Amino acid sequence: MEESKFESEIKFPEQHEFGRKELDIAEIEMPGLMGIREEFGPKQVLKGAKISGSLHMTIQTGALIETLHALGAELRWASCNIYSTQDHAAAAIVKKQTSKVFAWKGETLEEYWNCTNKMLTWPDYPGPDILVDDGGDATLLIHEGVKAEHHFAKTGELPDPSKFDNLEFQQVMRIIKEGLQGGLTQKWTKMAANLKGVSEETTTGVHRLNQMSAKGELLVKCINVNDCVTKSKFDNVYGCRHSLPDGIMRATDVMIAGKQVVILGYGDVGKGCAAAMKACGARVVVTECDPICALQACMEGFDVKRLESVVSTADIFVTSTGNKGIIMAHHMAQMKNNAIVGNIGHFDNEIDMAGLEAYPGISRTEIKAQVDRYVFPDGHGVIILAQGRLLNLGCATGHPSFVMSCSFANQALAQIDLWENRDTNKYENGKVYKLPKELDEKVARLHLPALNAELTELSQEQADYIDVKVEGPFKHEEYRY
């Protein structure tokens, strides 16, 4: 792995020119981030802020990094997925020295958690002032580190990674154990105390934060970026609508039209996925546990079935629930030959990869990077995309720049808000907040000129009639878009 003088670890530094060309194109497609640079850059609103980021190291993330840098921040970055890094994007960022980067496509789990640790570790400083997180891995490492340090101080006992079945959590415990053995007995405690806030990108990450907050375990103040309308309804719906078929077709070249496609989960992500497959001519089936989402799927013309009813007939299966244990090894054993199985929901536990690997008599053939065929003892096989991780990032390039501009404009505004209010009482440790609707509408406004959209202006009488301000916000907090 290439270690540059600019304290980074990337794989192909020579790809920096390619990365810069794509970044230049992406910036034109990201009016939200460019608008934030134009408005806040001269003010250097993030000057002095040390920001760590655990978020897919893509071209679009590169535009976010360089926006935060343009606002005055110093950055360290790692990817939140072992397959999602675009190496040319990482090379471009390191070449320009806008952030330290510790990421490459195809990391092992050990390498991934080592990179996460390096991203969080600031030489001669307790740790990041603010954290951009995607899925909660970095937040988890900090909190587990604090717990282990407190336990070590009381008992002298080191964490034992072998006590845990989860392979990822074993790596978390390894990182913490190695730190304690090296004499870093207060590293995570000092880091948590220094951290001014976290802005979380994803549904699952926010769910984790809310659980920790409810239990009184959350040590920091957090902003829920995921539930901004211009994130959840754009990234999750429109982004997935674009990148799911892109990932499937790049991975397999399969004809989607006419195929039976099962979308497991009909939340925002599932809605985008189902719409995409329908537009490709597929016969779409949805699985759901939520009666409201199930009824929505029915009203859009989709069959709603249990997985068991279609497991032996469907051609393509896509998990999009944000839950765990959705497609198990015994389900895949019943699928037709060469059924395609992929995930676009939560990181890597929607599809039972451990059970598939351990299935008696199973054999695996790598077709190409992130595309594997697993053959069962009876001779039939299933094609697994991105080893059960996010197929749109593992097998393609993720969401397009325009929709990520919506998401990342929210991230940038959240980082600004956390930094500007680091010494105020606006946010409390242990609580999770949403950005105000004014900022949500601001993000939308930043993108409309690029689409030649014209907003109608309310008269004062009209605004009074629906109890809003002429300039907005135009919906009350309880409104569901």
243 is catalytic: no
Question: Of 84, 86, 114, 387, which residue is the catalytic one?
Answer: 84
DSSP state at residue 366? E
87 is catalytic: no
| 460: its two tokens | 């004062």
The residues, ordered by sequence, that sit 6+ positions from 403 with a Cβ below 8 Å of its Cβ are 234, 235, 238, 239, 242
Torsion of CA 396, 399, 400, 403, to 10 degrees: 180
226 is catalytic: yes
Catalytic residue from among 331, 346, 442, 447: 346
166 is catalytic: no
**Of these residues, 69, 221, 399, 442, which one is catalytic?**
399
399 flagged as catalytic: yes
Asked if 213 is an active-site residue, the reply is no
Among 250, 286, 255, 258, CA closest to 270: 286
What single string gives the DSSP state of each residue in 328-360?
-HHHHTTSPTTEEEEE-SSSSSSB-HHHHHTST
Residue 98 near residue 92, CB atoms below 8 Å = no
Is 253 annotated in the active site? Answer: no
How many Å apart are CA 418 and CA 423, to the nearest integer? 9
Contact between residue 265 and residue 321 where contact means Cβ atoms under 8 Å apart: yes
Please confirm, yes or no, whether 201 is among the known catalytic residues.
yes
Of residues 11, 16, 50, 56, which has the active-site annotation?
Answer: 56
Question: Integer distance in angstroms from the first to the last C-alpha of the chain?
Answer: 46
The candidate with the shortest Cα–Cα distance to 432, out of 204, 222, 198, is 222
Residue 107 in tokens: 């990391």
Residues 6+ apart with CB under 8 A from 437: 472, 473, 475, 477
Q: Tell me whether strands 74-78 and 283-287 are parallel, antiparallel or unpaired.
A: unpaired
Q: How far apart are CA 232 and CA 215, in angstroms?
A: 25
Of 52, 199, 405, 411, which is the active-site residue?
411
DSSP codes, 440-469: HHHHHHHHTGGGT--PPPPPHHHHHHTT--
Closest by Cα among 201, 7, 14, 198 to 102: 7
- Residue 441 a catalytic site member: no
Q: Point out the catalytic residue in the list 95, 196, 231, 259.
A: 231
Candidates 392, 407, 410, 415; catalytic one: 407
Residue 348 among the catalytic residues: no
Catalytic position from the list 74, 134, 149, 350: 134
Q: Which has the closest alpha carbon to 18: 76, 75, 93?
A: 93
Cis before 128 (ω within 30): no
Annotation marks residue 56 as catalytic: yes
- Inter-residue contact 177 to 159 (CB < 8 Å): yes
- Please say if 79 is a catalytic residue: yes
Which of 52, 236, 296, 320 is catalytic? The answer is 236
With contact defined as beta carbons under 8 Å apart, do 120 and 43 qualify? no
Cα separations (Å) of 460 from 186, 439, 473, 476?
58, 22, 14, 17
253: left (phi over 0), alpha (psi -120 to 50) or beta: left
Catalytic pick among 201, 246, 288, 350: 201
Which positions ≥6 away from 189 have C-beta within 8 Å? 145, 146, 149, 150
Which residue in 228, 240, 280, 293 is the catalytic one?
A: 240
State yes or no: is 411 an active-site residue: yes
- Give catalytic residue positions: 56, 79, 84, 134, 201, 226, 231, 235-236, 240, 346, 399, 407, 411
